[in-house]
Structure 1
């Protein structure tokens, strides 16, 4: 009898416990502890990402004063002015050219260096360090170094051209060469990070695949095309996506090398936003340009995931 009463009491406690847990489960799911671990990250995202994005979207519909406070609601007038502005269209064209100059070149060079560094040769660790060294240099420091390299009278590039009998180029002051010069700086700056990521992807490829291909008599280029690139495709997809987003957001080297000149030849979208907001104090137009840039990056990233991920081979 005692055991039966105990069993009845224990059985009667379960519905009460479940009743208390149901509201918690509906709010946090079946693992509320997971939300506690995620809470610090969610707070940081809300404060530093979602709230600024919402405020920027709100400000893009207003004219603002010099302090950035909204004054007059103008609706989509800021967007209409922006999309019809020759300055913005020229800035968008320069940004696209900059992305085309930097992203494919950086990835191709980093892939070649990663393939060389992945070979099992004596002293290859030294070259791996050299290839990845640009990763540890800040944008400001590297821009100062490249200012000396591009110097029209004492720079090493014009010294080399003079040895070849070629007239020196005013790299940063010539509108035909300024964007190329900034792109060259950006390629060098991003090469180390891209190289390390691709080298890590190469070292994760199973060696048995290469051994089986060698037994079958497959050459290097066949192994590269049929084994290396397909197995490296997830890493390449990640690198392309990150490099594309980073190229659209380039600011530091533009500000230090050319300040958007000469003749707005290097006035990329992010630097144009900076000029409108913190030099001209036109925060409404600057916010509209931020939203347009955000939508462009979002669209390009979505297209990459839709069409590019189809060619990604996951092990």
Structure 2
């Protein structure tokens, strides 16, 4: 009986507590510097006006948030949600469809994997320039192919809704490389014995993929869904380089509007930009809550 008793843990000494706190200091300092301080500063600035020199001035209460209650800001939110949804869906489904054949041990697959993942090494600005060159009316291979097929090329970056779709595709092109690496790693970890057992049970083709393979790589899929969502919400370089928010604001997303109000509109309206930044934070929290509260329930962790 005596041996079965759980030994009571001795209380920590002052030296051990101090040592534990010391190990926490770097992490807490990083959180305070790069997370909590900017957050509190954004909350403070969202309640301030801007003087003629572009510096925060008097308190304006909730006036900056009231200024967001306009049809124009509603359009910005719709652009942001459409852009995010498009990039997440296409940026996950397309790499997943490519990862399956690229996971096969066939000649030349390594070369194809390298080519498909190469755009991940590009910066957003560099990728945007590449797409501008590919869609330039005077040299665009895409326009040439459309004319060859008897079609007419639209203004990819100058007409709505093509401009927003073009920027979204450029973003997919960048994130697809990273997603392909993650999903390919998940497919490489699928046990062949499990697949063989599924085949013996009659699971072949798409049924085998959706019933066996996809549940086994669901943690990888969930990871790329979350990271792609964060990337699309923060996509600024693509919009700025390719369209600068045009035409007529049809590609103005929330993060672009924040940057424009804070640094480009001539007034340095940090108060309005901070209010928009808090809205972006709320959008991100809501999407994360949906993903972790609903989507993660379908994830099968091994």
Matched residues in 1 for 2:116 and 2:152: separation? Answer: 31
Cα distance, 1:124–1:268 mapped onto 2, change above 3 Å:
same
Deviation, 1:238, is 1.1
| 1:70 aligned onto 2:53 | no
Matched residues in 1 for 2:270 and 2:237: separation? Answer: 20
Matched residues in 2 for 1:95 and 1:182: separation? Answer: 12
Residue number in structure 2 paired with 1:276: 261
Q: Secondary structure at the match of 2:104?
A: coil
Q: Is the 8 A contact 1:276 1:283 kept in 2?
A: yes
Q: Deviations over 1:119-159 (max 9, x none)?
A: 12122211111121111122121111111111123211111
Q: Is the 8 A contact 1:106 1:194 kept in 2?
A: yes
Residue number in structure 2 paired with 1:242: 227
Cα distance, 1:205–1:39 mapped onto 2, change above 3 Å:
farther
What are the ranges of 5 or more consecutive residues in structure 1 without an aligned counterpart?
A: 1-17
| 1:56 aligned onto 2:42 | yes
CA RMSD across the alignment: 1.9
Range with greater deviation from structure 2 (158-167 or 67-76):
67-76
Matched residues in 2 for 1:262 and 1:233: separation? Answer: 39
Deviation, 1:235, is 1.1
Given candidates 193, 200, 203, the residue that maps to 2:178 is: 193
Give the aligned length.
291
Matched residues in 2 for 1:153 and 1:122: separation? Answer: 37
Matched residues in 2 for 1:251 and 1:139: separation? Answer: 8
Deviation, 1:60, is 0.5
Trace 1:287-306 onto structure 2 (pairs within 5 A). Answer: 287-306=274-293
Given candidates 237, 241, 251, the residue that maps to 1:256 is: 241
| 1:221 aligned onto 2:214 | no
Structure 1 segments (4+ residues) deviating >6 Å: none
Q: Which has the higher helix share?
A: 1
Residue number in structure 2 paired with 1:47: 33
Residue number in structure 1 paired with 2:7: none
Residue number in structure 1 paired with 2:114: 129
Q: Is the 8 A contact 1:152 1:169 kept in 2?
A: no
Given candidates 151, 155, 171, the residue that maps to 1:166 is: 151
State the TM-score, normalized to the length of structure 1. Answer: 0.87
Q: Deviations over 1:149-190 (max 9, x none)?
A: 111232111111111111222111112311111111111111
Range with greater deviation from structure 2 (281-290 or 89-98):
89-98
Deviation, 1:37, is 4.1
Q: Is the 8 A contact 1:151 1:170 kept in 2?
A: no
Matched residues in 1 for 2:298 and 2:128: separation? Answer: 36
Q: Secondary structure at the match of 1:71?
A: strand
Cα distance, 1:73–1:24 mapped onto 2, change above 3 Å:
farther
Given candidates 110, 123, 129, the residue that maps to 1:138 is: 123
Deviation, 1:214, is 2.7
Matched residues in 1 for 2:170 and 2:188: separation? Answer: 28
Matched residues in 1 for 2:72 and 2:104: separation? Answer: 49
Q: Deviations over 1:285-311 (max 9, x none)?
A: 100000011011011101211111111
Matched residues in 2 for 1:231 and 1:71: separation? Answer: 55
Deviation, 1:203, is 1.3
| 1:285 aligned onto 2:272 | yes
Deviation, 1:218, is 2.7
Q: Is the 8 A contact 1:152 1:171 kept in 2?
A: no
Matched residues in 2 for 1:218 and 1:181: separation? Answer: 39
